[in-house]
């Protein structure tokens, strides 16, 4: 009975792992193919099934004028927009979360929970609903097709996440901590900055990670609110998926674009195993 | 504590968010009362004509809405079952625990549209590996062009992409559970199944509800996958509400009508998610 259970458990885990890695392996293999080995028949293993070339990867660093994809600029654009929007969201979101966790607000029928809900409920808004008015709004103030415009929009996307994680986290940081600091003669800002914040690093890291994930993976806002001046990575990669699809450079650029965040998976796992995440995500 | 300080903490975030959102929301409502389209790009006032059109002569929106309901409920249920199973398996003793945990997390770190581009080649009818392997059995399903199968393909990709999120929330929950109830159950001689039914599952109920609601919210926005994988097709068989709004608004430039759709959609979503949250809480927490 027990042996059967263990066997089933390991087979399920192994099967799911295979499902998880399958598209990556396929993309990796495809990225070394050329026209011949993509279109003649389905091939898998380099050297056995087909002769690998580096063409798909070389295209990534070539300039567009010479038939390249030029993924480098979109890469830095993506990094900039994600980091800027995440940083602003984390700072503002953490302050708001601290207020919502420590003080009571009362305005008419609005209570703390309602304010928290207001923040988090912004996630319900699908990108398309916002992107139509934003499209008109940003074109009026001349920020369409610019990095700044995207950062503004991404704040709406990311601040709810920061508030959601940090409110729960601050609720678990003992109140006595700030009270002691206040008795010791700190003002509320010093108490927050010198005592509460240093004790909230795990929460901040988790919130930051989530902001970075959800900023990095956004496609739709970038797709609608930018055209030629500024391109973000996902838009650039999807643009490759046109009529005559060069699967090899498509696969190579896809792998390059998802690679940095896979490191995040390792960091999240580390916090999970140390038990720091359980509080932050509950 | 001094009374004023709390506003210094709260207001920057709150006002930035409201400041960014106030225009789009007010503008959407106003736009929904106008006939703004590509011939006539102006904010005229046509009253509730758009709403009348939506409720009387646009079955496509409602079909898309039911399709969205079907797709998101199915994917979230699958994600919950698989995610919970995976979380339970790597919760305690298993070899290579940390390796598996990282593996299970990876898909949610990848950009959905980009992975969907890969999935598209994966499910390609003649050049993709899936049909190549299936050709052993002499079948060649049309993963992307058959109306029924295209839905399943979308579900497969969504489950691949977002089960990790469910897994992460549930595993974090499992790891934060108190030890005592499990000890008590072990002393009473409960087997693994009874332990799950009477201890683990009830303790996990609040976390499960939270995770399901969060995933439902995110799943209802499903767009990237559909956009790249099938573009709503074949026909309209994988078209969801958001994608339909996209077509009306930014392909046909019927901005006014798209705003009507957006606003109606938002109202429906807020109401239904609130009801779902209430019902789930009743169902899963007995007392």
Residue B131 and residue A243: Cα distance in Å, rounded? Answer: 21
User: A161-187: per-residue pLDDT in tens?
Assistant: 999 888 888 888 888 888 888 888 788
Give B-chain residues touching A125 at CB under 8 angstroms: 266
Query: If we measure between CA atoms, which residue out of B122, B165, B140 comes closest to residue A22?
Result: B122
Q: Please report, rounded to a whole number, the percentage of residues in chain B having pLDDT higher than 90.
A: 16
Taking CA–CA distances from A188, the nearest residue in chain B reads: B5
Quote the ipTM score.
0.86
Task: Mention every residue, 6+ apart, whose C-beta is less than 8 A from residue A269.
Answer: B98, B101, B102, B105
**Are residues A128 and B101, on separate chains, in Cβ contact within 8 Å?**
no
Residue A272's CB: how many other CB atoms inside 10 A?
23
Compute the mean pLDDT over every residue in chain A, rounded to the nearest whole number: 83
Confidence of residue B167 (pLDDT cuts 50, 70, 90): very high
Minimum-distance CB partner of A96 among B14, B172, B228: B14
- Restricting to B residues 171-230, those with a Cβ less than 8 Å away from any Cβ of A are 171-173, 175-176, 192, 207, 210, 214, 217-218, 220-221, 223-224, 227-228
Residue A164 and residue B163: Cα distance in Å, rounded? Answer: 20
Higher pLDDT, A87 or A68: A87
Alpha-carbon distance B216 to nearest alpha carbon in chain A (angstroms):
9
Query: If we measure between CA atoms, which residue out of A174, A166, A197, A142 comes closest to residue B13?
Result: A166
Domain ranges of chain A: 2-53, 72-281
User: A41-54: per-residue pLDDT in tens?
Assistant: 777 777 777 778 77
Give A-chain residues touching B220 at CB under 8 angstroms: 124, 126
Per-residue burial over B247-261, b if 16 or more Cβ lie within 10 Å, else e, is: bbbbeebbbbbbbbb
Residue A108, φ and ψ in degrees, nearest 5: 65, -130
- Restricting to B residues 143-172, those with a Cβ less than 8 Å away from any Cβ of A are 160, 168-169, 171-172
User: A210-222: per-residue pLDDT in tens?
Assistant: 899 999 888 888 8
Confidence of residue A40 (pLDDT cuts 50, 70, 90): confident
**Are residues B89 and A220, on separate chains, in Cβ contact within 8 Å?**
no
Residue A184 and residue A202: Cα distance in Å, rounded? Answer: 25
Which domains, ranges and CATH numbers included, belong to chain B?
58-284 (1.10.3720.10)
Q: Where are the alpha helices (DSSP H) in A103-219?
A: 112-121, 127-140, 147-172, 175-183, 188-190, 201-216
**Are residues B122 and A127, on separate chains, in Cβ contact within 8 Å?**
no
Q: How far is CA A265 from CA A24, A164, A270, A271, in A?
A: 15, 20, 9, 10
Average pLDDT over residues A194-222: 86
Q: How far is CA A137 from CA A76, A143, B22, B210, in A?
A: 25, 8, 11, 34
Task: Mention every residue, 6+ apart, whose C-beta is less than 8 A from residue B154.
Answer: B71, B222, B225, B226, B229, B230, B238
**Are residues B132 and A234, on separate chains, in Cβ contact within 8 Å?**
no
Query: If we measure between CA atoms, which residue out of A205, A243, A231, A218 comes closest to residue A75?
Result: A231
Give B-chain residues touching A122 at CB under 8 angstroms: 17, 21
**Are residues B250 and A42, on separate chains, in Cβ contact within 8 Å?**
no
The CATH class, in words, for A72-281 is mainly alpha
Alpha-carbon distance A282 to nearest alpha carbon in chain B (angstroms):
6
Residue B94, φ and ψ in degrees, nearest 5: -155, 145
Confidence of residue B78 (pLDDT cuts 50, 70, 90): very high
Residue keyed to tokens 């994966």:
B122
Give A-chain residues touching B10 at CB under 8 angstroms: 95-96, 99-100, 103, 105, 115
Name the helix (H) or strand (E) containing A235: helix A233-239
Residue keyed to tokens 């995770």:
B211
Selected for mutation to probe chain B from A123, A133, A134 (highest B CB count within 10 Å) is: A133
Residue A137 and residue A152: Cα distance in Å, rounded? Answer: 12
Q: Please report, rounded to a whole number, the percentage of residues in chain B having pLDDT higher than 70.
A: 98
Taking CA–CA distances from A27, the nearest residue in chain B reads: B118
- Say if residue A282's pLDDT is above 50: no
């Amino acid at each position: 009975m027990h042996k059967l259970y263990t066997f089933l458990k390991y087979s399920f885990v192994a099967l799911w792992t295979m499902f998880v890695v399958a598209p990556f392996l396929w993309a990796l293999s495809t990225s070394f193919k050329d026209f011949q080995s993509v279109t003649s028949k389905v091939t898998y293993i380099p050297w056995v099934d087909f002769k690998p070339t580096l063409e798909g990867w070389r295209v990534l660093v070539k300039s567009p004028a010479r038939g390249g994809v030029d993924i480098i600029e979109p890469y830095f654009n993506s990094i900039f927009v994600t980091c800027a929007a995440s940083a602003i969201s984390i700072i503002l979101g953490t302050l708001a979360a601290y207020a919502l966790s420590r003080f009571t607000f009362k305005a008419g029928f609005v209570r703390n929970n309602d304010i928290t809900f207001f923040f988090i409920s912004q996630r319900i808004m699908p990108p398309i609903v916002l992107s139509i008015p934003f499209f008109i709004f940003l074109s009026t103030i001349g920020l369409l097709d610019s990095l700044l415009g995207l950062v503004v929009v991404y704040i709406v996307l990311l601040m709810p996440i920061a508030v959601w994680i940090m409110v729960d986290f601050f609720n678990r940081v003992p109140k006595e901590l700030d009270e002691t600091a206040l008795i010791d003669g700190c003002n509320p800002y010093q108490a927050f900055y010198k005592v509460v914040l240093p004790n909230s690093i795990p929460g901040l890291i988790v919130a930051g990670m989530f902001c970075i994930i959800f900023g990095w993976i956004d496609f739709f806002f970038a797709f609608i609110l930018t055209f030629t001046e500024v391109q973000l990575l996902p838009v650039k990669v999807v643009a490759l998926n046109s009529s005559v699809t060069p699967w090899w450079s498509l696969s190579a650029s896809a792998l390059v674009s998802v690679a940095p965040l896979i490191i995040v998976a390792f960091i999240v796992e580390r916090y999970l195993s140390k038990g720091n995440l359980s509080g932050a995500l509950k | 504590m001094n009374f004023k300080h709390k506003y210094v903490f709260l207001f920057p975030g709150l006002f930035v968010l409201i400041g960014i959102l106030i225009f789009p929301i007010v503008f959407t409502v106003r736009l929904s009362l106008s006939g703004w389209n590509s011939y006539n790009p102006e904010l005229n006032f046509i009253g509730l004509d758009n709403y009348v059109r939506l409720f009387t002569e646009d079955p496509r929106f409602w079909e898309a809405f039911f399709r969205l309901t079907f797709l998101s409920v199915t994917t979230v249920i699958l994600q919950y079952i698989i995610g919970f199973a995976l979380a339970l398996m790597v919760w305690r003793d298993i070899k290579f625990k940390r390796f598996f945990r990282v593996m299970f997390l990876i898909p949610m770190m990848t950009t959905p549209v980009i992975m969907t581009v890969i999935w598209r080649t994966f499910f390609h009818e003649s050049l993709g590996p899936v049909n190549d392997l299936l050709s052993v059995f002499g079948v060649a399903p049309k993963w992307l062009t058959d109306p029924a199968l295209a839905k399943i393909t979308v579900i497969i990709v969504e489950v691949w992409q977002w089960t990790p999120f469910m897994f992460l929330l549930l595993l974090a929950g499992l790891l934060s559970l108190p030890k005592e109830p499990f000890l008590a159950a072990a002393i009473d001689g409960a087997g693994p199944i009874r332990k799950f039914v009477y201890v683990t599952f009830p303790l996990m109920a609040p976390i499960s509800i939270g995770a399901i609601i969060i995933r439902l919210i995110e799943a209802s926005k499903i767009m990237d996958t559909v956009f790249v994988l099938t573009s709503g097709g074949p026909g309209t068989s994988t078209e969801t509400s958001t994608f339909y709004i996209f077509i009306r608004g930014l392909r046909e430039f019927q901005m006014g009508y798209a705003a009507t759709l957006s606003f109606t959609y938002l109202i429906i979503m807020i109401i239904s998610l609130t009801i779902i949250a209430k019902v789930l809480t009743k169902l899963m927490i007995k007392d």
